[in-house]
Amino acid sequence: MKKITSKGLSPYRKNEIISYGIAILGFAVISVLRSLGMVSSSLQGQLVPICAYVIMAVSLNLVVGISGELSLGHAGFMSVGAYTGIVVSGIMGTMGAADPVRFFAAVIAGALAAGVAGFLIGIPVLRLRGDYLAIVTLAFGEIIKNIMNIVYAGIDENGFHISTKSDYGLSAEGRMLLNGPMGATQVDRISTFFYGFILVMVTLFVVQNILNSRQGRAIMACRDNRIASESIGLNVMKNKLMAFTVSSALAGMGGVLFGLNYSTLLPIKFNFNTSILILVFVVLGGLGNIWGSMIAAIVLTVLPEALRQFADYRMLVYAVVLIVVMIATYNPAIRSRVSAFAEKYLRRKKPDAAPAEGGAD
């Protein structure tokens, strides 16, 4: 299909380059600043979570922005990935595997587990029309959280143990991996900013390649008009399922990165609020806008920390910033002032907004 569209695709390509640019530039600048010792310790500690949230936001955008389905349980897939990754990394650690091997094995396992979970949820739910996915993913997030609250796992000389009881016979020399409501404990913190950067690039590569492919066109067509899509022979359910499964797997990957960054990880960390936070990144960054999701995830992760000086007013300021950004990005007067390039991009994204703007002037 690309053969025919010669110039038509350029806006997609531009956005693609911006996204990669943000990731590479961000990584380069931070790396240089770090080598000069100019990165504050609080920011230092946030680098991996920022990468994880960027992955979460970009992957959720694939579902919410590009495939047009609401998901309220993205943190649930993050959780599946995180705990799978922690277990895999823990087991491999006792076998003496090198850190990079452990890390990437954990990433693959976490992505697979979360992808399978997404696929299984998607099969029944995406057949239905309406907001069922929102309801089911919401429930999924809560269910996963509650399951993780009662799972105990560990490894000792007798092998791997997993149970729903706290006395599951782990020997004294054994290594505890999951400890019910206490979550993961004694996790080796093997995530690094560099790994985070690599995973962000992988996520961008996967999502943006889907976006620019035949498959991506089909996914967006199904979002834009279900009946028209069926009339041209698209399998709407299959397209939506594909987007949802990929998104879940990427979320699992983000979860592994996040999980292996802390020595302990409580299941409660992946609650409804986290899902909503990721959704806020996506909505604020612009539905379907990949680099928008990245910027929103970065800014809104750094902001609460940066606002510490405002003490009790911190969340108030945070809320005000959210509102201002929302108003600013949807205000035609402000929008018309952004560069010609950005203008071009926005008009393309929201064609029906263009005449409305003209009419308002």
In angstroms, rounded to a whole number, what is the distance separating the alpha carbons of residues 83 and 78?
9
Nearer to another protein, 34 or 217 (CB): 217
Interface residue with another protein among 86, 218, 283, 297 (CB under 8 A) is: 218
339 φ/ψ sector (left φ>0, alpha ψ -120 to 50, else beta): beta
User: Which tokens is 92 given?
Assistant: 């491999």
Residue 227 found at the interface with another protein (CB under 8 A) = yes
State the nearest-atom distance from the C-beta of 214 to another protein, in Å.
8
The contact pattern for another protein, residues 62-91, with x = CB under 8 A and - = no contact, is ------------------------------
Nearer to another protein, 234 or 280 (CB): 234
State the nearest-atom distance from the C-beta of 128 to another protein, in Å.
15
In angstroms, rounded to a whole number, what is the distance separating the alpha carbons of residues 274 and 282?
13
State the nearest-atom distance from the C-beta of 285 to another protein, in Å.
18
Q: Which of 161, 154, 354, 145 is nearest to 266 (CA)?
A: 145
In angstroms, rounded to a whole number, what is the distance separating the alpha carbons of residues 279 and 284?
8
In angstroms, rounded to a whole number, what is the distance separating the alpha carbons of residues 276 and 268?
14
State the nearest-atom distance from the C-beta of 215 to another protein, in Å.
10
Residues 1 to 30 in contact with another protein, rule: CB under 8 A: 1, 3-5, 7-8
Residues 298 to 357 in contact with another protein, rule: CB under 8 A: 348-352, 354-355
Q: Specify burial of residue 134 (Cβ count, 10 A radius: 0-12, 13-18, 19+).
A: middle
In angstroms, rounded to a whole number, what is the distance separating the alpha carbons of residues 31 and 271?
32
Residue 236 found at the interface with another protein (CB under 8 A) = yes
State the nearest-atom distance from the C-beta of 349 to another protein, in Å.
8
Q: Specify burial of residue 286 (Cβ count, 10 A radius: 0-12, 13-18, 19+).
A: buried
Torsion of CA 307, 308, 310, 312, to 10 degrees: 120
Nearer to another protein, 209 or 235 (CB): 235
**Which one of the spans 18-26, 156-164, 216-224, 317-325 is the region binding another protein (CB under 8 A)?**
216-224
Which chain residues interact with another protein by CB under 8 A? Answer: 1, 3-5, 7-8, 214, 217-218, 220-221, 224-225, 227-228, 230-236, 348-352, 354-355
